[in-house]
Amino acid sequence: MQILSEILKARVAESGERIFCSFQDQQMTFKELYDRVQEVAGALVEAGIEPGDRVGLMLNSSLEHIELYLAIAWLGAISVPISVHLKSAGLELLFNSCSPRLVVAERRYADAIRQAASETVSSPSVAWLEDGTNGPGEFHLNGLLRTSRAVRNAVIRSFDDPFMISYTSGTTGGPKGAIISERYRWVGCKSAAIISDAQPDDTYLLWESFYHGAAWVTIEMALRKGLKVHMVERFSASRLWDQIAEGGVTKLHYTGGVVNIILAQPPVESERSNTVSIAWGAACPADSWRKFEERFQLKVREGYGLSEGQNFTHMNLRGVVGSCGLPIEELDSWIADQNGDRVGPGVVGEIVLKQKIPGITMTGYWGEPEKTAEVLRNGCVFTGDLGMVDDENYFYFKGRKKDALRRRGQNISAWEVERVLNASPDVEESAVIGVDSGLGDHDQDILAVVTLRDGAKQDPIAILKFCAEQLAYYQVPRFIQFVDAFPRGPTQRIMKKHISVDLEKAWDAEKAGVKPTRTA
């Protein structure tokens, strides 16, 4: 086991002249990366960074972003990836949470950062990626580089020192910063290499934003394995196979939303001769699994993970459709009921993790001992996610505990309803949301927000009848709202909190006099 700075040095000694990353019209070798990391580390020291300081990164995908991230590790400081979509209110919460000493950002975000900093108890300094006019406590990176000296010797820290703070949005309250250690990331990269069958001659497509953990796992896996990364600015379903051809990509990371988006694209010539052998990730819809494999002539490798636990806590290497697989060798895992007791095969409950090796899950939430205690209990990680195991102990994800509704006294998993909606002949994708039923006691009705497949017509009765055949009567949506597209996050996951709910325009089964039949 090595810390990241040691891995970088070892990689340069072994294969320094190999291409590490291609991006737009740029290419960088491992040796060039190594030299640049030391130079950028000097610039950060010039800005006052010391071991243990938090450094925020509010940047889009670029080679400079990678250099900064590795330079922070080189100095023994702590990276804080920041979503480029945050506005001043969200930034203020984050700044007050982790008190970064420095934020490195693009000037396009200056208004939001300055506004947030003005409302923060301990205001961070800011280093802008681009040249320009600086305010008080601000620098530009090129200026720091011109006046600094490269740092040739990396800070040696323990495997359990904080390495990154990864903020999770959650469903209630403010953002929570999961503390990630070098040990955590070592195991995460090991698992990613296993699930994707990483080889030195592989090229991985990197489309995720760097405020998403999967992006950094790919970068660090490249350093560990000596493989190449082909980075693009953002995910593009229409250009995907051309980008894969341009980069000679052999491994493709996905999330559940991405799989269906790709399948919905019309066939193109470049997909037929694609070089991808494995698509790896999490939340591949079961009914899309074989379609994806057969159409693109590749293998799907499915897993499950979360910031609080590990990048991958479970991996499915056998191709059991719909399953996220077995626990990784460093973890025990089981399903627990609402009392915390283990349950057997076929019973849905909360996914629980227990580390066999100390320090491989998150250390806790930064500055949030009470919230930490809700998740880390009795030496276990209570994930807040629902799952089930089969007779061979293969795990199946069944939704999130907090993404649930309560209707007429019945608890309903939004994921379970969405799974059926997405199987409807006319529905491309769906998001289920609970809306106030007017009956009090937090009772809710179900709103299904859907996009339609190409050529399909709005036929809410047909969708409702399909659901009624597959679901319990109380799981069938009352409202159906048609939209052209969904708001999405960096991994193309639907962002439910950004959906504009309009019940006035939604089709209402109750007003239409259509009711699902009760069977008992």
- Ranges of the chain whose pLDDT falls below 70: 169-174, 256, 409, 440-441, 518-520
State the pTM of this model.
0.85
Phi, psi of 475 (to 5 degrees): -90, -10
CATH class of 30-157: alpha beta
CA dihedral 55, 61, 64, 65 (to 10 degrees): 20
134 Cβ contact list (under 8 Å, min separation 6): 128, 140
Integer angstrom CA distances of residue 499 from 110, 134, 150, 485: 27, 37, 47, 10
DSSP collapsed to 3 states, 247-305:
HCCCEEEEEHHHHHHHHCCCCCHHHHCCCCCEEEEECCCHHHHHHHHHHHCCEEEEEEE
96-125 tens-digit pLDDT: 999 999 999 999 999 999 999 998 988 999
C-alpha distances in Å from residue 54, one per residue of 121, 164, 358, 424? 15, 8, 24, 48
Give the C-alpha separation, 73 to 182, whole Å. 10
| Phi/psi at 139 (5° precision) | -135, 170
Residue 283: predicted pLDDT:
87
Return the domain boundaries, the chain.
30-157, 183-400, 404-512
């006319």: which residue's tokens?
Answer: 426
What per-residue confidence (pLDDT) applies to 472? 78
Q: How far apart are CA 19 and CA 342, in angstroms?
A: 48
CA–CA dist 194, 302 (Å, integer): 11
CB 81 within 8 A of CB 19: no
Give the C-alpha distances (Å, rounded to integers) separating 283 from 147, 253, 301.
47, 11, 10
Distance CA 225, CA 189 (A): 10
Distance CA 245, CA 259 (A): 18
Would you give the DSSP letter of residue 475? Answer: G
Region 183-400: CATH code: 3.40.50.12780
Tokens at residue 473, please? 């009567």
pLDDT digits (tens, 9 = 90+) for 40-91: 999 999 999 999 999 999 999 999 999 999 999 999 999 999 988 888 888 8
Q: Do the domains 30-157 and 183-400 sit in the same CATH topology, yes or no?
A: yes
Of the options 3.30.70.1380, 3.30.300.30, 3.40.47.10, 3.30.470.20, the CATH number for the domain spanning 404-512 = 3.30.300.30
pLDDT at 169: 57
| Residue found by looking up tokens 């990197």 in the block | 206
Residue with tokens 């379903």: 237
25: CB partners within 8 A, 6+ apart: none
pLDDT given at position 173: 55
195, 426 contact by CB (below 8 A): no
Q: What is the DSSP string of 30-82?
A: HHHHHHHHHHHHHHHHHTT--TT-EEEEE--S-HHHHHHHHHHHHTT-EEEE-
Chain Cα centroid distance, residue 371: 21
Q: Which helix (H) or strand (E) holds 225?
A: helix 213-225
What's the DSSP call for residue 494?
A: B
Tokens standing for 478? 């009352």
pLDDT in tens, 463-500: 999 998 878 788 899 999 999 999 988 778 899 989 99
SS3 120: coil
